[in-house]
Amino acid sequence: MTAVLVTGALGQIGTELTRALRGRHGAGHVLATGYREAPPESSPLSDGLYERLDVTDHRAVNATFVEHDVDVVYHLAARLSVLSEADPQEAWAVNMGGLHNVLEAARTHGVGQVFWPSSIAAFGPETPSERTPQDTLMRPTTIYGVAKVAGELLCDYYCRHYGLDVRGVRYPGVISGATRPTGGTTDYAVEIFYAAIESGCYTCFVRADTVLPMIYMPDCIKAALDLMAADRPQLRHHNSFNVSAMSFSAGALAEEIAKHVPGFVCDFAPDHRQAIADSWPHSLDDSAARAEWGWKPRFGLPEMTTDMLATLRARQQAGRL
Ligand code: AKB
């Protein structure tokens, strides 16, 4: 019997969240699903159940819930911001259509809990950009952000109208050393580490003074698991908590890496992704998450940088970078 379903399990967050969930519940109780036929043989997910699942196909989503007796869902399948801008129609189908299919299946099959991540992309250029409040003006300008705001409202509706226990956080850019992100604006904050290790130089696609909120993967996973474990009556917001861990400019990140990688050189050649980055906040006020379910991150810029470089160097030495 499977109790926990993860969609988008082969993605940056999905890979590590699935591993954490399997550590807690046992590999046989966590079904990893993704758009690909199967995880690569080297994937850390090859130790447990995996099925192909297209979240835009509502019949397939329903069949998965029935067949595996799903009780808890972590719905991560999505196109990130840059890929979404390249094909807004497909992005809407996957990001909104997929969420709607999962919420409907959860409602009709009496699922206990759903986790769905929103993002800093839910905010827009008119949002206060320093210590962005939990409840504030949104008005994003990307299709990815529009789907995040609509998704937050849809989750609120399912929570209020059907009593479905849907929870989620607004993730900042996520930095991690196991699976590379694809198609996101904050990908530079991950690519820069690989480049530092592999070649000692990087050309960053946003300006040096671009400041964005970021979170390291262990804190990203902790946020999801802590929120899902919180007592429901304590939650006032449910599905769109700001979570903050660190905020830094691309230039400051390059300088921090250079402390560990002598001679590291970073150039800056902003492209079309700069406009997306400029529409997002610099830092978040996460006092609601701290007050309602005890959110507290462990990693700041120096700790994250040290850990990322150690992780990637270990992978490089093992020939698995
Ligand atoms: C992206 O850059 O698209 C994502 C996000 C901030 O949601 N990492």
Q: What is the pLDDT of residues 55-88, one digit of tens each?
A: 999 999 999 999 999 999 999 999 999 999 999 9
Per-residue model confidence (pLDDT) at position 1 = 57
Average pLDDT over residues 139-158: 98
> Does 173 contact ligand 1 (Cβ within 6 A)?
yes
Nearest CA to ligand 1 atom 6: 173
pLDDT at 183 over 90: yes
Please give the mean pLDDT across all residues of the chain. Answer: 96
Sheet holding 50-52, edge to edge: 50-52, 30-34, 4-7, 72-75, 113-115, 166-167
The answer to whether 155 and 51 have CB atoms below 8 angstroms apart is no
DSSP code of 215? Answer: E
* pLDDT confidence tier of residue 89, bands split at 50, 70 and 90: very high
76: helix, strand or coil: coil
Per-residue model confidence (pLDDT) at position 78 = 98
> Does 184 contact ligand 1 (Cβ within 6 A)?
yes
Q: CB neighbours (10 Å) of residue 251? A: 17
Strand 246-249 and strand 211-216: the pairing is antiparallel
Per-residue model confidence (pLDDT) at position 238 = 85
53: helix, strand or coil: coil
CATH for 4-172+216-242? 3.40.50.720
Per-residue model confidence (pLDDT) at position 205 = 98
DSSP code of 208? Answer: T
- Confidence (pTM): 0.96
216 catalytic per annotation: no
* pLDDT confidence tier of residue 2, bands split at 50, 70 and 90: low
Average pLDDT over residues 266-277: 98
pLDDT at 24 over 90: yes
Average pLDDT over residues 224-233: 97
Share of the chain above pLDDT 70, in %: 99
Helices and strands, number each (H, E), in the chain? 12, 14
Give residues with Cβ within 8 angstroms of 110, minimum separation 6: none
> Does 119 contact ligand 1 (Cβ within 6 A)?
yes
> The domain at 173-215+246-317 falls in which architecture?
3-Layer(aba) Sandwich (3.40)
Annotated catalytic residue, options 35, 50, 74, 144: 144
pLDDT at 40 over 80: no
Of 30-39, 74-83, 151-160, minimum mean pLDDT range: 30-39
What's the longest Cα–Cα distance across the chain? 58
Per-domain boundaries in the chain: 4-172+216-242, 173-215+246-317
Average pLDDT over residues 267-292: 98
Return the ligand 1 atom nearest residue 187 CA: 2
